[in-house]
Amino acid sequence: MTDTATTTTASLNKFEKFKAEKDGLAIKEEIEKFASLGWEAMDETDRDHRLKWVGVFFRPVTPGKFMMRMRIPNGILTSAQMRALAEVVQRYGDDGNADITTRQNIQLRGIAIEDLPDIFNRFHAVGLTTIQSGMDNIRNITGDPIAGLDADELFDTRELVQQIQDMLTNKGEGNPEFTNLPRKFNIAITGGRDNSVHAEINDLAFVPAFKAAGEQKLFGFNILVGGFFSAKRCEAAIPLNAWVPPEDVVAVCRAIVEVFRDRGLRANRQKSRLMWLIDEWGLEKFRLEVEKRLGKSFLPAAPKDEIDWEKRDHIGVYKQKQPGLNYVGLHIPVGRLYAGDMFEISRLAEVYGSGEIRLTVEQNIIIPNIPESRLTTLLAEPLLERFAVDPGLLTRSLVSCTGAQFCNFALIETKNRALATIQALESELILTRPVRIHWTGCPNSCGQPQVADIGLMGTKTRKNGKTLEGVDIYMGGKVGKDAHLGTCVTKGIPCEDLQPVLQNLLIQHFGAKLKQEALVTH
């Protein structure tokens, strides 16, 4: 028997049941009602699950203080939008903060349900949306963080990412066509040469590739499908053997998401991501089904893609393709922002740049369009002491998921521990190159340990008869050109013993030296 959407109602799992009973998007019309009811009186399924269709997440760790996940297409927002987000978190005092996410996005914390109507009005006024950002929906669509600024880019992804988001979300208002997928779905497009979006870990990704047409070389994208991480299985995306010109990308997204929606596996949520369907059908059948929806055949993939650079992290000052303008990448430690920081970032973007702010999948910020003449003053701004343009070589590549502070899946605390560990390591070691260390609080892998030089995945471990917070260590993740996933090399290191283990790894594999030793040899 095949495990398809034709499964009978009686055998539906609890998620499929509640989606069949009432579409998540219906929640949109009930926000006023929930605001006056309060979170404690709400129907539990609405509160814990359906609210995620409008990007509102009940947090069992902090009941009554909700998280809101935005959609920031291509990770680009305006200073007015950042200010609107700052005003929202500001009203929650110490409980209010925001995180830049590993999908070039922002999540707000501390949100009270009674404020939702006002918050949504404010978002609407500045053109922000949270629609379809959680549960069985398509996540924030990622694109090159320096699209349109990069002299070496092959394609500016901004408009295309926006068009895909508009199609899938009905311009941010909600699109019932795509609100009952078998599970989450990730899309990324890269038009640069360094795969700055981790194309390989998305369910659907477009990477730049030229196709020969007689004497001419046509620009388009090779398509990758089926990349994903989950607690049960992690896979890099595989080539669909299909090439598309930019003008077909939106239609291809629609066709693939429709196939996933209508034929994707739903019975077992552990097996509901796109790759499981591709496994069951085989790639050829999958491609044929997509072509049927698309109404035309794909051209075979171009023999090679154009991802031939090492991945850039964009921290620091860089010249734009526009003469006289620069973009400045600020390092935001583990992506955490407070209201004051957000107001200040908005101000800096307005005073020194064009009011635009960009986010990266490494949870950092880029302020573009800064004229040469304003650079020195910007670099002297007090905020840049904390959000540095030249952080330490471990600090600059640090990524961390939310962890135990707010996430009930977490097996360990991540963000604070990640920062403390890195600071200690930098004080002991002399490093000669950045080392990308990613922390993730549980096997769901939101912090992408498999793309890191050193990935740390939260676990519980035993020592002297006690259960402790620990990590499994991943190594070998390669990003940019020839990207591939790292694998688990050591299991169950207690967090309290991690420091020397990391120190050894950095010395043995990444050319680090102990500061003491370096002094002696000198």
Known catalytic residues are: 69, 183-184, 441, 446-447
Number of H helices, E strands in the chain: 15, 23
Q: Report the residue from 5, 343, 409, 431 that binds ligand SF4 according to the rule CB under 6 A.
A: 409
For ligand SF4, the closer CB: 346 or 459: 459
Residues 181 and 203: their CA atoms lie apart, in Å, by 13
Residues 492 and 85: their CA atoms lie apart, in Å, by 39
Which one of the spans 4-12, 15-23, 405-413, 501-509 is the region binding ligand SF4 (CB under 6 A)? 405-413
Residues 417-446 that bind ligand SF4 (CB under 6 A): 440-442, 444-446
Q: Tell me which of ligand SF4, ligand SRM, none is bound by residue 441, counting a contact when its beta carbon lies within the kind-specific cut-off of 5 to 8 angstroms.
A: ligand SF4
Please, what is the minimum distance in Å from the beta carbon of residue 451 to ligand SF4?
A: 13
For ligand SRM, the closer CB: 2 or 268: 268
For ligand SF4, the closer CB: 220 or 403: 403
Residues 12 and 32: their CA atoms lie apart, in Å, by 31
Residues 192 and 306: their CA atoms lie apart, in Å, by 8
- Please enumerate in sequence order all residues whose Cβ is within 8 A of that of 231, keeping only pairs 6 or more positions apart, or say none: 270, 442, 443, 444, 445
> Mask 447-486, x = binds ligand SF4 (CB under 6 A)?
x---------------------------------------
For ligand SRM, the closer CB: 439 or 510: 439
Residues 239 and 304: their CA atoms lie apart, in Å, by 11
Q: Report in angstroms the alpha-carbon separations of 150 from 102, 105, 146.
A: 21, 21, 6
Phi, psi of 339 (to 5 degrees): -55, -45
Please, what is the minimum distance in Å from the beta carbon of residue 227 to ligand SRM?
A: 7
Can you give the binding site for ligand SRM, defined by CB under 6 A?
A: 57, 59, 67, 69, 99, 101-103, 105, 107, 139-140, 183-184, 186, 201, 228-231, 273, 401-402, 406-409, 444-446, 448
Q: Tell me which of ligand SRM, ligand SF4, none is bound by residue 186, counting a contact when its beta carbon lies within the kind-specific cut-off of 5 to 8 angstroms.
A: ligand SRM
Q: Tell me which of ligand SRM, ligand SF4, none is bound by residue 139, counting a contact when its beta carbon lies within the kind-specific cut-off of 5 to 8 angstroms.
A: ligand SRM
209 contacts ligand SF4 (rule: CB under 6 A): no
Alpha-helical regions (H) of 360-514: 372-379, 383-386, 415-428, 498-510
100 contacts ligand SF4 (rule: CB under 6 A): no
Q: Tell me which of ligand SRM, ligand SF4, none is bound by residue 140, counting a contact when its beta carbon lies within the kind-specific cut-off of 5 to 8 angstroms.
A: ligand SRM
Contacts by residues 418-424 (CB-CB < 8 Å, ≥ 24 positions apart): 418/334, 418/456, 419/333, 419/334, 421/498, 421/499, 421/502, 422/392, 422/394, 422/395, 422/398, 423/395, 424/499
For ligand SF4, the closer CB: 155 or 185: 185
Phi, psi of 491 (to 5 degrees): -115, 150
Which one of the spans 113-121, 149-157, 330-338, 396-404 is the region binding ligand SF4 (CB under 6 A)? 396-404
219 contacts ligand SF4 (rule: CB under 6 A): no
Strand pairing category for 325-330 and 76-78: unpaired
- If DSSP states are collapsed to H, E and C, what string results for 99-167? EECCCCCEEEEEECHHHHHHHHHHHHHHCCECCCCCCCCECCCECCCCCCCCCCCCCCCHHHHHHHHHH
Chain residue at closest Cβ approach to ligand SRM? 230
Only one residue has tokens 């640069």, namely: 192
102 contacts ligand SF4 (rule: CB under 6 A): no
For ligand SRM, the closer CB: 407 or 422: 407
Tell the burial category of 93 from Cβ atoms under 10 Å away from its Cβ (0-12, 13-18, 19+): exposed
107 contacts ligand SF4 (rule: CB under 6 A): no
Closest listed residue to residue 328, CA positions, set 351, 309, 310:
351
DSSP class of 259: H
Please, what is the minimum distance in Å from the beta carbon of residue 473 to ligand SRM?
A: 18
For ligand SRM, the closer CB: 62 or 90: 62
Residues 498 and 417: their CA atoms lie apart, in Å, by 11
Q: Tell me which of ligand SRM, ligand SF4, none is bound by residue 442, counting a contact when its beta carbon lies within the kind-specific cut-off of 5 to 8 angstroms.
A: ligand SF4
For ligand SRM, the closer CB: 181 or 512: 181
Q: Tell me which of ligand SRM, ligand SF4, none is bound by residue 440, counting a contact when its beta carbon lies within the kind-specific cut-off of 5 to 8 angstroms.
A: ligand SF4
Please, what is the minimum distance in Å from the beta carbon of residue 485 to ligand SRM?
A: 11
Residues 71 and 142: their CA atoms lie apart, in Å, by 10
Tell the burial category of 450 from Cβ atoms under 10 Å away from its Cβ (0-12, 13-18, 19+): buried
Please, what is the minimum distance in Å from the beta carbon of residue 400 to ligand SF4?
A: 8
Give the residues lining the site for ligand SF4 (CB under 6 A).
401-403, 407, 409-410, 440-442, 444-447
